[in-house]
Structure 1
Amino acid sequence: MRKISDAIRELVQENEFLSLGFHHDLLNLSQVARYLLPLIEARCHKEVQESAVLMNLSRLKRELSAVTSKPREHFFIDKVNIHTNLCSFTVNKTRQSHAELNRLYGTIREADGFMTITEGISEITAIIESENLGTAEQLIGEPFKHIHRDLASVGVKFHEKFLEVPGVLYLMLQMVALQGINVIEVSSTATEFIIYIESSTVNLAFESILARFGKKRNGLT
């Protein structure tokens, strides 16, 4: 059975922001203990007392404070781009909506337009260029459940060697969240990650991601 101390060490080492917080004494350990408790119980497969977590966090903090903080493996992105003038809409997931969305997709692709679709358990969200929203309203028979207008996206591409590195997508989302930016939607392929946000915040998100994960930031060309 895994030790509590080992589980805590793994969780901290896997999270760059926890490691940073420990090294610079930025964290309230009691709050961290409550936050990590269910994650530790899942790894140890047993019930764990919050006091035991707090005690181990205190020991680990003293240890980490005595050494130089090391960043996660040098993750960097190959490309980053912005796509503006977008909007999204959500409909119920039915056979009819599937057929209508397929028809809309064909219409937009014939005009070399942009459209991406995400399916959930009971809903489907489509992201299209704003100029095609009227066409979507004509082709989709049911009222939209949600509409987000004036969207933009920040898309990044990274090397496939990072596919097995835990948390790289989370790191990019954290950089956006730390700027107080509301993430509307996300999508991904194997080596691409796209974050959809309000147009007014897209430049800040772009600069934040590029400054943290760009090749120049990591001493690469």
Structure 2
Amino acid sequence: MKTISSVVEHYIKKKPFLQTALAQGIINLTSLSRQVRPEIEAQLGKEVRNGAIVMALKRLSDDLEFRATHRIVKVLKNIGEITVRSSLTDFTFLISDTILRNQGRLLEVVNKNKDVFYTSSRGVNELNIVVSNSLDDVVEDVFSAERQTQKAENLSSITVKLPAENVSVPGIYYFIFQRLAWEGIVLYEVISTTNEFTILVDEDQVDNAFTVIKDLKSL
């Protein structure tokens, strides 16, 4: 049997931004109840008083399991080194039978140039390679026989070292990416390992993105 509380909770949890704002206590519950009332009534098939919806919203905002938990904040306070690199280019190639061989050729060049930036990620159909723009010509030459689908220049990367417990706490990446989205920062690429992730953004957004991530340590 559907109840007002269960329907309200289901509605809010479908809207992550609204869920977080409610948990942080920055929403007027009475105004929100008026806004969601028509959908709640449609779900229940009957009229519902605003006061009943307000009470359901209040219970949700007080629920520690519903809030951004202290475990997430604890992990973010222990964020380690934050490294910024600029003047990067992101290449995208379709996967082929020769792509790994050519990637090996590129790595030979990278290993001889310790100061350059290099990272890559492979999906089912595509391979992404991100390098310092000083290697653009090398990449174009080594992968000349491959099918390049995209090339983005003038990018910057921010690499963040996370504490080891990040793998056991749900919501870490959501929490970080949500705040970047709130600031209107477009993530061109996200590359991660177990305890580290790198985001690529346009160079004109890197300062703002760095500030957002750095401020997570002071939550």
What range is the shorter-chain TM-score in?
0.7 to 0.9
**Aligned letter for 2:22?**
G
**Aligned letter for 1:61?**
L
**Aligned letter for 1:169?**
Y
**Are the structure 2 counterparts of residues 157 and 60 from structure 1 closer, same or farther at C-alpha, using a change threshold of 3 Å?**
farther
Please say if residues 24 and 65 of structure 1, whose CA atoms lie closer than 8 Å, have aligned partners that are also in contact: no
TM-score (norm 2): 0.74
For 1:50 and 1:210, the matched residues in 2 are separated by: 44
Is 1:137 the counterpart of 2:140? The answer is yes
For 1:204 and 1:124, the matched residues in 2 are separated by: 28
Residue equivalent to 2:59: 63
Aligned length: 199
Q: 1:204 aligns with which of 194, 202, 208?
A: 208
Residue equivalent to 1:119: 122
Please say if residues 187 and 201 of structure 2, whose CA atoms lie closer than 8 Å, have aligned partners that are also in contact: yes
For 2:167 and 2:8, the matched residues in 1 are separated by: 23
**Aligned letter for 2:165?**
K
For 2:203 and 2:137, the matched residues in 1 are separated by: 20
What's the C-alpha RMSD, in Å, of the aligned pairs? 3.8
**Aligned letter for 1:72?**
T
Please say if residues 90 and 152 of structure 2, whose CA atoms lie closer than 8 Å, have aligned partners that are also in contact: yes
What are the residue-to-residue correspondences of 1:18-29 with 2, within 5 Å?
A: 18-21=19-22, 23-25=25-27
Residue equivalent to 1:44: none
Superposed CA offset, 1:182-221 (max 9, x none): 111001111111111111100100001111x12xx14xxx
Is 1:79 the counterpart of 2:81? The answer is yes
Residue equivalent to 2:102: 100
Please say if residues 83 and 154 of structure 1, whose CA atoms lie closer than 8 Å, have aligned partners that are also in contact: yes
Please say if residues 94 and 147 of structure 2, whose CA atoms lie closer than 8 Å, have aligned partners that are also in contact: no
For 1:16 and 1:107, the matched residues in 2 are separated by: 44
For 1:84 and 1:154, the matched residues in 2 are separated by: 9
Q: Which runs of 5+ in 1 are unaligned?
A: 35-48
What are the residue-to-residue correspondences of 1:147-158 with 2, within 5 Å?
A: 147-158=151-162
For 1:180 and 1:80, the matched residues in 2 are separated by: 20
For 1:19 and 1:151, the matched residues in 2 are separated by: 30
Question: Comparing 21-30 with 92-101, which one deviates more in the overlay?
Answer: 21-30
TM-score (norm 1): 0.74
Please say if residues 90 and 126 of structure 1, whose CA atoms lie closer than 8 Å, have aligned partners that are also in contact: yes
**Aligned letter for 1:21?**
L
Which structure 1 residue ranges, 4+ long, deviate > 4 Å from structure 2? Answer: 26-31, 55-59, 64-71
Structure 1 residue 164 displacement after superposition:
1.1
For 2:62 and 2:127, the matched residues in 1 are separated by: 50
